[in-house]
A and B are shown apart, each in its own frame.
Chain A
């Protein structure tokens, strides 16, 4: 079972560069989300999607764009990287928003450094 696959695992960017973090899941989950993990701050929600064609902002959306053209894929785009975006990024998916089924499955993370 592949689960949630994130690529790349590591990335170094220069300030102002753009890039896309990829996320794919093979569980036919409707709900997908992106978090960033910073020391002492837990995981903060960047963007989420409740289905193909539908996205919404989380707690810290500035500097990031998302789209959801298929159920499987939910890429995260950094348009102009800044050092404040240095973080570990996690993609997660879950079957639905029903509280009885909201186990979230996480990818292994992408460690991004912006210099």
Chain B
């Protein structure tokens, strides 16, 4: 079945450091891929998405590229801020299953 695997956290960084959170997926067909972010005490909100191979999603300085050859969708940011501290979820949507499937989430803590 379809699944998403994320690197385990927590990830702890200093402000202005480079961020990578790894995400790989298993799916049939051509799923759409997403990164959602959950700030403390809130629900999830969409950060970025990519709907086909080689697409790059970007938002708020975050980027992720849909790599079909490696079945990956790694999240990157060149310079993190304290306000980026949150839990990040990689997810895929496969129309055949009508489901949005999430990874386990990766907690990011950024210190001044």
Contacts and interface: CB of A to CB of B under 8 A. Distances in A.
Contacts of A90: 43-44
A102 B100 contact: yes
Size band of the B side of the interface?
Answer: 20 to 34
Contacts of A43: 44, 89, 102
A2 interface: no
Chain A, interface size category, equals 20 to 34
A58 B44 CA distance: 19
Contacts, number: 59
Interface in A46-65: 48, 50, 56, 58
A104 B46 contact: yes
Interface stretch (B14-22, B61-69, B70-78, B91-99): B91-99
Interface of B: 4, 6, 31-32, 34, 36, 41-46, 49, 51, 89, 93, 95, 98-105
Interface of A: 4, 33, 35, 40-45, 48, 50, 56, 58, 90, 92, 94, 97-100, 102-109
